[in-house]
């Protein structure tokens, strides 16, 4: 059991404390004259109580605040949030009970007064919500700080730093706990103490400040950085100058010193209260009411869920009220659980720190292996640790994310979010990283700053995209993936590609601007790009590859054509055209059908690297969900030569990582009377078209010819295509005599019923 005694060197209070709340509407002075006033105004038999329990004294609970200041703040909360459940905090008082008196007996007597709404023994002080074994293995090498990495590993703080305000610049955060080492070499100068005395759990507070605001400035330090390293940081201690431990007054002092949109981190929890241990600090009614006032006036409160391993859905007060049911009461704070650091993230389970969970929890973050600065018992100022843990580290990470979002919003939108708005953004399941079992884990989500930046809540990042087909708006879709109007192949260079193909050209939605390369000369590729994001994209890199025609154009088939940079693609979905990428005559392949792959990349909207596509799941997500890649079929013809639309060769491709079950589908829209035959190896045909044994091809016994629908769709059976297979196939098309030689035919490859590639021929 972790000791809950006050720190060594401080006088142990010779009393316990009882929190008393009088019913709303009862008027009492909010000072130390309240005892006699209770008697004089007939509110209760205070004299009999003192006679029964000698030595009792009573005074304001929020000791540093005046009644007028509290009333003004509560009124402000009601004005800013008409649905506020802000309580009259001036109804809360603190009764000091001498050591020899049984505090529970005092509570029982006070609870019998009709004027008193509630009374409870205030919990004894305890350590902040951290695994006490966390400060071991002190290290000085530079930490990896993987909690800053992209999702699903971390919160992607490094991406947020690429945007104005993403590092917390211009924002304020207050850390409430028990002690800190302000002169650690990696902390910024100027961290101030709002009130209280920094005296206990110094290493813990220093670790929290490192997660929030450490700066990579001192060569003798750890060279780690905080999530919101540019924010202004202040602290407030639960230990007061008179030697008392007073969380309520510390919270109030923070509220009085903070503004709308600032972030208050409560690195504390409730110990041994009404049958529950190490649960959120807001379990205590007075603290809940103070937090509610804070969030109603727009202060963002981030609170650890606690290390007691309690399912908060099961927590009830002495009246049986489920206190962590939002429908019953909701403080507006962001409640944070701790997770293990590995992916997929699971709830933190260790001894003695096991995260609390439940539907009330909004977010989670790393509760193990967090790398940050630290101070050892000797007061060394240049150490770091790889073992910060518990819901303390998790709450510090999420508080840093909250400060980052506020900075991004103020810099990009001109305003900051209120407490409940920001809580909804941080806990949004559509943008956050889910835990291993999702909602069943009771941990909410881990904020993903990249996804938040790209979401409609902020929409700050550029979102450059290429259309897969006319009508594509950049969203994931189930349409074709290789009919892009934005890859334009010309045998002669354009003098003004923006005027010829860009916004206002009249050709914005044309998909027939060029798909034929002429052998024996240089050809020119132009790529059209749109930006539907919230900011202009400077220096967008466009890269084009060419591949043999295949139903699945895997990266191992790609050959680089070239790349160019578009200086600016403005926001507003304006069609912007690249300069020409020259396809040199020496590199143009033999006559036939080929496929262009075009990719656009920007530092704030990066494209995946082709090397990652050896994982087929990543590749299929790239095809179906990514909007910064597209495909376009092209033909290469010899000069002054017209090819008959009779023999259309292509390749059926296997996945690059393992055998996968796929389907081939042919869709033909040809003149009536046309005949279409698909030719493929006889060994393969039996799999795609089971039934009667395939007949050998008249001219090649290794092949077979299968007649298919010339004016409709033919879907072959799903079969396992071996890893990296290259199955040659060909469509033989015969048009009726004197028919208008016009039509279309495409072959597409399906994986789990979804298109992953297609080849299209237009017959003119």
CA dist 17 → 116, 126, 172, 225, 248 (Å): 16, 15, 33, 41, 13
Residue-wise pLDDT tens digits, 464-505 = 999 999 999 998 888 888 889 999 999 899 999 999 999 999
CATH of residue 98's domain is 3.30.70
Do 564 and 684 share a domain, yes or no?
A: no
pLDDT at 641 over 50: no
115 in the same domain as 150 = no
Res 735: pLDDT:
83
pLDDT of 136 > 50? The answer is: no
Please report whether residue 188 resides in a domain: yes
Kindly state whether residues 625 and 674 are assigned to the same domain. Answer: no
| Average confidence (pLDDT) over 329-335 | 97
Question: What pLDDT does residue 515 have?
Answer: 74
DSSP state of 139: B
List the one residue out of 65, 88, 446, 513 whose CA is nearest residue 246. 65
Q: How far apart are CA 640 and CA 418, in angstroms?
A: 68
Q: Which of 540, 658, 647 is nearest to 600 (CA)?
A: 540
173-182, 348-357, 630-639, 731-740: range with highest mean pLDDT = 173-182
Shared domain check, 426 and 495: no
Write down the pLDDT at residue 9: 41
The CATH number assigned to the domain holding 415 equals 3.40.50.200
How confident is the model over 348-363, as a mean pLDDT?
90
Segment 130-155 shows an average pLDDT of 73
H or E segment to which residue 168 belongs: none
Q: Which of 289-293, 427-431, 515-519 has the lowest mean pLDDT?
A: 515-519
Domain limit, last residue, from 407, 428, 454: 454
Of 745 and 157, more confident: 157
**pLDDT value at residue 220:** 65
Q: Where is average pLDDT lowest: 393-402, 518-527, 684-693, 695-704?
A: 684-693
Q: What is the mean pLDDT of the chain?
A: 89
User: pLDDT by residue (tens digit) across 406-416?
Assistant: 999 999 999 99
Tell me the mean pLDDT in the region 143-152. Answer: 91
- Would you state the pLDDT for residue 529? 98
In the predicted structure, residue 523 carries a pLDDT above the cut 60:
yes
**CATH code for position 478:** 2.60.40.10
| pLDDT (mean) for 317-326 | 95
Alpha carbon 537 to its chain's center: 22
Percentage of the residues of the chain whose pLDDT score is greater than 70: 92
Tell me, yes or no, whether 632 and 652 share the same domain.
Answer: no
Determine the distance from the C-alpha atom of residue 16 to the mean position of all C-alpha atoms in its chain, rounded to a whole number: 44
Comparing 540 with 518, the larger pLDDT belongs to 540
The region that residue 730 occupies, defined by phi over 0 for left and psi between -120 and 50 for alpha, beta otherwise, is beta
pLDDT digits (tens, 9 = 90+) for 14-26: 579 999 999 988 9
Residue 688 binned pLDDT confidence (cut-offs 50, 70, 90): confident
- 269 lies in some domain: yes
Q: Give a yes or no: residue 397 inside a domain.
A: yes
**Residues 52, 194 within the same domain:** no
Range ranked top by mean pLDDT from 65-69, 420-424, 662-666:
420-424
Q: How far apart are the first and last CA of the chain?
A: 83
- What's the confidence (pLDDT) of residue 131? 64
Distance, in Å, from the CA atom of 628 to the CA atom of 475, rounded to the nearest integer, reads 11
**Is 193 within a domain?**
yes
Cβ atoms 599, 543 nearer than 8 A: yes
What digits encode the pLDDT tens for the residues 63-122?
A: 878 889 999 999 999 999 888 877 789 999 999 999 899 999 999 999 999 999 999 999
pLDDT at 690 over 80: no
Cβ-based neighbours of 140, under 8 Å, separated by 6 or more: 222, 382, 383, 384
Top-confidence residue, 381 or 171: 171
Number of domains in the chain: 4
Contact call for residues 434 and 459 (beta carbons, < 8 A): no
Using alpha carbons, list the distances in angstroms from residue 681 to 652, 660, 687.
11, 19, 11
Q: Domain span at residue 401?
A: 146-454
pLDDT score at 631: 87
* Last residue of one domain, picked from the residues 414, 429, 454: 454
Token representation of residue 86: 């802000």
pLDDT exceeds 80 at position 678 = yes
In percent, how much of the chain has pLDDT > 90?
A: 66
Quick one: pLDDT band at residue 348, thresholds 50, 70, 90? very high
Are residues 505 and 423 both part of a single domain? no
Q: Where are the alpha helices (DSSP H) in 31-167?
A: 34-40, 46-52, 67-80, 103-111, 157-160
Whether the per-residue pLDDT at 345 is higher than 80: the answer is yes
Q: Is 340 a member of any domain? A: yes
Q: Is the pLDDT of residue 217 over 80?
A: no
Q: Residue 574, SS3?
A: coil
Predicted local distance difference test score (pLDDT) of residue 235: 98
Domain identity same for 202 and 308 = yes
Cis peptide before 618 (omega within 30 of 0): no
698 pLDDT exceeds 50?
yes
pLDDT in tens, 185-214: 999 999 999 999 999 999 999 999 999 999
Radius of gyration of the chain (CA): 34
Parallel, antiparallel or unpaired: strands 629-637 and 592-601: antiparallel
Residue 4, domain member (yes or no): no
Question: Do 230 and 368 fall into the same domain?
Answer: yes
Q: Does the pLDDT at position 741 exceed 70?
A: no
For residues 158 and 216, state if they share a domain: yes
Which residues on adjacent β-strands are paired with residue 234?
174, 192
Q: Please give the pLDDT value at position 14.
A: 59
Residue at token pair 């010819």: 705
- The answer to whether residue 1 sits within a structural domain is no
Over the range 147-164, which residues count as b (16 or more CB within 10 Å of their CB) and which as e?
bbebbebbbbbbbbbebe
- pLDDT of 42 above 80: yes
Q: Interior CA angle at 712 toward 709 and 717, to 5°?
A: 65
- pLDDT grade for 643, boundaries at 50, 70 and 90: very low
How much is the pLDDT for 110? 97
pLDDT score of 393 more than 90: yes
| In-domain check, residue 8 | no
CA distance 134 to 391: 12
Query: Cβ of 137: how many Cβ atoms within 10 Å?
Result: 8
Domain CATH number, residue 679: 2.60.60
Q: How confident is the model at residue 139 (pLDDT cuts 50, 70, 90)?
A: low
Residues 157 and 184 in one domain: yes
In this predicted structure, the answer to whether residue 530 has a pLDDT above a threshold of 90 is: yes
Which residue's entry shows tokens 């241990």? Answer: 277
| The last residue of a domain, from among 608, 637, 666 | 637
Say whether both 593 and 718 belong to one domain: no
């Amino acid at each position: 059991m972790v000791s809950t005694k006050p720190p060594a060197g401080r006088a142990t209070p010779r009393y316990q404390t009882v929190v008393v709340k009088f019913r709303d509407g009862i008027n009492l002075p909010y000072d130390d004259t309240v005892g006699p006033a209770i008697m004089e105004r007939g509110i209760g038999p205070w004299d009999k109580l003192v006679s029964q329990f000698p030595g009792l004294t009573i005074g304001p609970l929020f000791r540093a605040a005046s009644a007028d200041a509290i009333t003004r703040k509560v009124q402000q909360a009601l004005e800013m949030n008409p649905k506020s459940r802000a309580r009259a905090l001036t109804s809360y008082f603190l009764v000091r009970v001498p050591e020899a008196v049984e505090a529970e007996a005092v509570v029982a007597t006070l609870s019998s007064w009709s004027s008193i709404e509630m009374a409870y023994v205030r919990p004894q002080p305890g350590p902040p919500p951290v695994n006490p074994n966390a400060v071991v293995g002190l290290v000085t090498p530079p930490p990896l700080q993987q909690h800053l990495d992209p999702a699903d590993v971390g919160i992607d703080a490094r991406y947020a730093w690429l945007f104005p305000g993403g590092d917390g610049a211009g924002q304020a955060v207050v850390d409430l706990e028990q002690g800190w080492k302000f002169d650690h070499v990696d902390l910024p100068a100027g961290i101030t103490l709002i009130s209280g005395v920094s005296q206990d759990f110094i290493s813990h507070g220093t670790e929290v400040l490192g997660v929030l605001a450490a700066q990579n400035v001192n060569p003798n330090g750890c060279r780690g950085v905080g999530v919101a390293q540019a924010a202004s940081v202040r602290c407030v201690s639960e230990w007061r100058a008179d030697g008392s431990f007073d969380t309520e007054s510390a919270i109030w002092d923070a509220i009085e010193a903070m503004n709308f949109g600032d972030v208050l981190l409560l690195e504390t929890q409730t110990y041994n209260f009404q049958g529950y241990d190490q649960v959120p600090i807001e379990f205590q009614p007075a603290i809940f009411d103070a937090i509610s006032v804070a969030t109603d006036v727009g202060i963002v409160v981030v609170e650890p869920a606690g290390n007691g391993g309690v399912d908060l859905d099961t927590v009830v007060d002495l009246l049986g009220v489920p206190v962590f049911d939002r429908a019953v009461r909701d403080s507006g704070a962001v409640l944070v659980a701790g997770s293990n650091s590995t992916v997929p993230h699971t709830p933190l389970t260790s001894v003695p720190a096991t995260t609390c969970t439940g539907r009330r929890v909004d977010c989670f973050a790393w509760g193990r292996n967090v790398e940050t600065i630290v101070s050892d018992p000797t007061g060394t100022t240049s150490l770091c640790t790889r073992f910060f843990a518990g819901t303390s580290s998790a709450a510090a990470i999420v508080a840093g994310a909250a400060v980052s979002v506020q900075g991004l919003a103020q810099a990009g939108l001109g305003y900051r979010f209120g407490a409940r708005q920001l809580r909804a953004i941080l806990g949004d399941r559509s943008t956050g990283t889910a835990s291993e079992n999702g909602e069943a884990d009771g941990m909410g989500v881990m904020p993903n700053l990249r996804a938040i930046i790209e979401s409609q809540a902020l929409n700050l990042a550029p979102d450059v995209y290429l259309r897969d087909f006319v009508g594509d708006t950049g969203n994931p879709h189930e349409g074709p993936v290789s009919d892009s109007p934005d890859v334009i192949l010309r045998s002669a260079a354009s003098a003004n590609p923006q005027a010829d193909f860009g916004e206002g050209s009249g050709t914005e939605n044309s998909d027939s601007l060029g798909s034929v390369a002429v052998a024996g000369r240089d050809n020119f590729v132009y790529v059209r790009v749109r930006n539907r994001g919230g900011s202009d994209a400077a220096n967008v890199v466009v890269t084009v590859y060419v591949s043999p025609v295949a139903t699945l154009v895997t990266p191992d088939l790609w050959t680089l054509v070239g790349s160019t940079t578009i200086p600016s693609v403005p926001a507003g979905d304006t069609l912007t055209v690249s300069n020409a990428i020259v396809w040199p005559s020496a590199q143009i392949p033999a006559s036939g059908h080929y496929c262009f792959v075009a990719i656009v990349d920007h530092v704030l909207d990066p494209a995946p690297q082709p090397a990652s596509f050896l994982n087929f799941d990543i590749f299929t997500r790239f095809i179906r969900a990514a909007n910064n890649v597209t495909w376009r079929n092209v033909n290469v013809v010899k000069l002054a030569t017209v090819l008959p639309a009779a023999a259309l060769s292509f390749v059926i491709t296997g996945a690059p990582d393992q055998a996968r079950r796929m389907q081939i589908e042919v869709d033909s829209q040809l003149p009536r009377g046309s005949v279409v035959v698909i030719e493929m190896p006889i060994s393969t045909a039996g799999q795609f078209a089971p039934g009667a044994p395939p007949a050998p091809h008249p001219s090649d016994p290794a092949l077979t010819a299968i007649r298919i629908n010339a004016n409709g769709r033919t879907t072959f059976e799903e079969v396992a295509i071996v890893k990296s297979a290259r199955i040659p196939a060909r469509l033989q098309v015969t048009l009726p005599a004197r028919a208008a030689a016009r039509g279309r035919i495409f072959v597409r490859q399906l994986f789990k019923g979804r298109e992953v590639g297609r080849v299209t021929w237009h017959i003119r």
